[in-house]
Structure 1
């Protein structure tokens, strides 16, 4: 009998099994990230990626978040290497898909979404070349770390949206976009401080 995986589920089933829940900051999150980073470094051919970073809310000390570790990998988009890379990621438990919702698609790997054990630790890995717009999220992360009042505003927004879109993960993500875009623009090198003078 085929065991159901995430890709077998409808959006409604995903929302029911894996609702959006914002948790208080957990000091274990950086430790969990480091353990997963080490697993990737140990099991994935080093020729397939050149940089690995913890990003997203769990990378910002003190910030409430979904209990999902977000990881960013620098990869080159290459058909042959990508296929080998995807297979190696599957071997350490990741499901793969392309995120094509905007004009800058990138690779996404998910782990921990087992319909039979929905309370596992979850991981989202986003992979793209280092000149991809996705890497601006590192500037966003750093800005939140150095601007606690903005981090608090982001936390409040997320809690509000989590209540509104508890079982609608895509709507939740899209509803955060304007805030993330605005703060990311401020966070880019050359822009920091320009609106605060």
Structure 2
């Protein structure tokens, strides 16, 4: 592990059985983020990702997405608020996703992630795609089962590489959203 790199950055991919407490944790984090981001919020804060789908196995990390007008203004102006609340900023050059600003909230030990915040510019297509995929999984049990099986296989294959795990799910998500080219 490199000096200055937090332990949670090296956390292994681990898919766990559904936990009904995820929804409660998401509600608490969401309410807090609405307070923290109040001056900048446009379309609100959404619980997205697998923990937002009842019955679906997931990495035990609550994914939240917030819509704002200017990502970089929020990062600068809300930096102290985020730090006090336990959020760690992941710089865009490390995150590798220019369409968002990313924050991680580790547990009290600093070893494990408990939440992710994806700040997205209002109107960006990713906002609707994330919500559409979550909602498709909620509506379609077969799709959710297929996704869970894929996630378990990929977690076994890429347990030490979170980026490879995430990237390997992309084709399934694109297909589920009907965004795959003909």
Range class of TM-score, shorter chain: 0.7 to 0.9
Structure 1 counterpart of 2:159: 166
Are 1:70 and 1:124, in contact at CA under 8 Å, matched by a contact in 2?
Answer: yes
CA shift for structure 1 position 30:
0.5
Structure 2 counterpart of 1:192: none
Count of equivalent residues? 175
Which whole-Å deviations, capped at 9, do the CAs of 1:98-155 have from their partners, x for residues lacking one?
27635x52110101167x552x561000011231122111000001111110010000
Unpaired runs of 5+ residues, structure 1, are: 187-197
TM-score normalised to structure 1 length: 0.79
Structure 2 counterpart of 1:129: 121
> What does residue range 63-142 of structure 1 map to in structure 2 within 5 Å?
63-77=56-70, 79-97=72-90, 98=92, 101-102=96-97, 104-112=98-106, 116-118=109-111, 120=112, 122-135=114-127, 136-142=129-135
Larger Rg, first or second structure (1 or 2): 1
Which whole-Å deviations, capped at 9, do the CAs of 1:55-99 have from their partners, x for residues lacking one?
000000100000000000011116444411233212211111227
Unpaired runs of 5+ residues, structure 2, are: none
Q: Which of 140, 158, 182 lines up with 2:175 in the alignment?
A: 182
Q: Which of 5, 8, 13 lines up with 1:8 in the alignment?
A: 5
TM-score normalised to structure 2 length: 0.85
